[in-house]
Amino acid sequence: MELRALKGTKDIFGEEMRKWLDMEEIIRGLCDDFCFNQIRTPMFEFTNLFKRGVGETTDVVNKEMYSFTDKGNNDITLKPESTAAVVRAFLEHSMYADTQPTKLYYISPTFRYERPQAGRQRQFHQFGVEMFGTDSPTADAEVIALGSTLLKRLGINKVELHLNSLGGPECRKKYNETLKNFLYEKREHLCPLCQERMEKNPLRVLDCKNPECQEHLQNAPTTLDSLDEGCRAHFEELQSLLTAMGIPFVIDPGIVRGLDYYTKTVFEFVSNDIGAQGTVCGGGRYDRLVDEIGGKHVPAVGFGAGMERLVIVRDAENKDALKPAARDIFIGFRGDVAKVEAIKLVNLLRQEGISAETDHLARSIKAQMKYANKINARYSAIIGESELENGEIQLKEMESGDAVTIPLNQFVQVVKNTIKGVED
């Protein structure tokens, strides 16, 4: 048995874990400000949910899903994305019967069998938001504003918002015909996969990563050319709203997203700091997904952001985004009797919300103080026979070296007041 993580998976711990926890705290505060409520869906769902929702012609369904048959002979898939799972929960629990819109967010593990690279693992984590129950451009604008605010709060500023519209079903039908005609003229220059996609879902051809294909797609017609009056008005109002909110954007007809359920608005926040895999956040409107999964018509809009990628981009722009990990106080001791008192004081301080630590390895006093420095303790105290006899103990500020003598029976209260005062 090899003691190593599977390819495409990784352990998160230590300083990296602190980055994740800090980011998650920012995300939860942000979603609270935007009045989104958290949802947690199961790690696996019936396979058919993703085939119907994500689209059978997508790479996700065709190549990347972790699917298996369970002991009950059910076709099960580890979720490759969370939107379809959230839609399933929205329908199963009749959230559409509540006051609308329904505004949800998630932070969830996700699974895709693809080539591991920077910011992309086979088990990765997504933060996403979904808003159900309105087709207004104001909902699109709010979701995009949430994404923009997230990046600002994370200190990620070197990003650009790319915006496009795929139009509604009729626009898509018209565009597909126009695109097919264009692609047939280029057919001999396209890869076998693109030739297959031409027939089943021509829009997917535009998402091909083959450089030779991209070279011959330079002058392809855009979805914007096929928008009807309603979809064009929706797109123009969205642009006006973003401008009013001071959110800059560029119109990018190349943004089509990799999943079949998108309609009208699609967008990506793109960074130049992580090379070819530059999208740190992307999404759009999916007004037909609820219908396709099995519910009545409910319009919706949302986005997803890879947590691993956010960590990478945040690190690239903000090397010192987090202060070093610190503990409020370290209490050392000499001798077994003092050890009991130290353990008692540490426990009392912890009950008061103070991060306190002591020695568990029978170190010398010198080694204990080295440990106090290593854990970046702001204060320290040492208990020995003399401190117990005199009923007094010194509280030392580690950075300045200043010390004050405190009655032992007042130690917890004084430390609490001192630490809380520093925090304020």
DSSP code per residue over 13-70:
-HHHHHHHHHHHHHHHHHHHHTT-EE----SEEEHHHHHHHT-TTSHIIIII-EEEE-
> In terms of residue numbers, what domain contains 387?
327-423
241 has a pLDDT exceeding 70: yes
Last residue of a domain, one of 295, 317, 339: 317
Same domain, 271 and 354: no
Q: What is the token pair recorded at 141?
A: 């604008």
Distance from C-alpha of 182 to C-alpha of 79, rounded to nearest angstrom: 35
Q: Looking at residue 218, what is its pLDDT?
A: 82
Query: Which range (94-108, 114-128, 192-206, 332-346) has the least confidence?
Result: 192-206
Same domain, 393 and 310: no
Query: For the domain that residue 353 is a member of, what is the CATH number?
Result: 3.40.50.800
**Of 55 and 162, more confident:** 162
Predicted confidence band of residue 59 (pLDDT cuts 50, 70, 90): low
418 has a pLDDT exceeding 60: yes
Q: Are 317 and 159 in contact (CB under 8 A)?
A: no
Distance from C-alpha of 198 to C-alpha of 202, rounded to nearest angstrom: 4
Mean pLDDT of 222-250: 95
Q: Looking at residue 424, what is its pLDDT?
A: 43
Selection from 424, 349, 409, 351 nearest residue 379 by Cα? 349
Same domain, 163 and 284: yes
Predicted confidence band of residue 70 (pLDDT cuts 50, 70, 90): very high
Same domain, 246 and 142: yes
Distance from C-alpha of 322 to C-alpha of 124, rounded to nearest angstrom: 22
Predicted confidence band of residue 215 (pLDDT cuts 50, 70, 90): confident
Total H helices, total E strands in the chain: 15, 16
Last residue of a domain, one of 317, 347, 372: 317
Mean pLDDT of 370-387: 96
Same domain, 260 and 304: yes
Same domain, 236 and 128: yes
Contacts of 260 (CB under 8 A, 6+ apart): 54, 55, 57, 58, 201
Dihedral of CA 44/49/51/54: which sign?
Answer: negative
Same domain, 303 and 342: no
Q: Looking at residue 259, what is its pLDDT?
A: 63
Dihedral of CA 144/149/155/157: which sign?
Answer: positive
Same domain, 335 and 390: yes
Mean pLDDT of 260-275: 82
Distance, CA of 336 to chain centre: 48
Report which residue type is found at 232: R
Distance from C-alpha of 156 to C-alpha of 149, rounded to nearest angstrom: 10
Report which residue type is found at 89: A
Distance from C-alpha of 23 to C-alpha of 12, rounded to nearest angstrom: 14
What is the C-alpha radius of gyration for the chain, rounded to an integer number of angstroms?
28
Structural domain count, the chain: 2
Q: What is the mean pLDDT of the chain?
A: 90
How many other C-beta atoms are found inside a 10 Å radius of the C-beta of residue 45? 20
DSSP code per residue over 358-378:
E-SS---HHHHHHHHHHTTEE
Same domain, 398 and 376: yes
Same domain, 275 and 375: no
Distance from C-alpha of 235 to C-alpha of 414, rounded to nearest angstrom: 61
Distance from C-alpha of 305 to C-alpha of 170, rounded to nearest angstrom: 29
Selection from 320, 344, 310, 160 nearest residue 249 by Cα? 160
Exposure pattern of 255-294 as b/e (b: 16+ CB <10 Å)?
bbbebbbbbbbbbbbbbeebeeebbbbbbbbbbbbbebbe
Same domain, 355 and 414: yes
Mean pLDDT of 164-175: 89
Q: Looking at residue 55, what is its pLDDT?
A: 61
User: Which segments within 231-386 are labelled E, that is strand?
Assistant: 250-251, 263-271, 279-285, 300-306, 327-333, 356-358, 377-383
Q: Looking at residue 91, what is its pLDDT?
A: 95
161 has a pLDDT exceeding 90: yes
